[in-house]
Amino acid sequence: MKLSDIMGNANLSFYAEVAMVIFLIVFLTVAVRLFLPSRQKELEEASRLPLEDDASYAAVPRKD
């Protein structure tokens, strides 16, 4: 009996459904956490990170 026969008869599709539910829960957790009031200040600060980093080039003349 080959491995593929064993796997074929094992009825594993249930695990795929469990995995999907776990994935969904993880995703929803991420999504819900994003909107927690306690995180808003942190996220607001994080969104400004790209704008804070090259003050050192301010002296370089820019044409555009």
Partner 1 sequence: MSATALPSTGAVSSAQLESFSYDDAVVRKFLWATFIWGLVGMLVGLIVALQLANPIFNTSLEWLSFGRLRPLHTNAVIFAFAGNAFFCGAYYSTQRLLKARMYSDFLSSFHFWGWQAIIVAAALTLPLGFTQAKEYAELEWPIDIAIAVVWVAFGVNFVGTMIKRRERHLYVALWFYIASIVTVAILHIFNNLSIPAGLFKSYSIYAGVQDAFMQWWYGHNAVAFFLTTPFLGLMYYFMPKAADGPVFSYKLSILHFWSLVFLYIWAGPHHLHYTALPEWASTVGMLFSVMLWAPSWGGMINGLLTLRGAWHKVAEDPILKFFVVAITAYGMSTFEGPLLSIKSVNALAHYTDWIIAHVHTGALGWNGFLTFGMVYWLLPRLFQTPVYSKRLMELHFWIASFGILLYVVAIYSAGVTQGLMWRAFDVTGRLAYPDFVETVVRLLPMYWLRVVGGSMYIVGMLLFGWNIFMTWRRRPATYVVPVITAPALEKKYIPEPEYGGAPAPVGLWGRFASATWHRKWERMPITFTVLTVIAVVVASLFEILPTFLIKSNVPTIASVKPYTPLELAGRDMYIAEGCFNCHSQMIRPFRHETERFGEYSKPGESVYEHPFLWGSRRIGPDLARIGGKYPHLWHVRHFEEPTSITARSIMPAYPHFLTKTINFEQIQSRVDAMAMLGVPYGDAVNSAPAMARAQAAEIAAEIERQGGPSGLSDKQIVAMVAYMQRLGMDLRTPASTVGMTQ
45 binds partner 1 (CB under 8 A): yes
DSSP 10: S
- In the chain, which ranges are continuous DSSP H helix? 3-9, 13-34, 40-47, 49-52
14 binds partner 1 (CB under 8 A): no
Q: Which of 14, 21, 25, 44 binds partner 1 (CB under 8 A)?
A: 44
3 binds partner 1 (CB under 8 A): yes
Residue 49 is encoded by which pair of tokens? 């990170």
57 binds partner 1 (CB under 8 A): yes
21 binds partner 1 (CB under 8 A): no
Residue with tokens 């539910």: 21
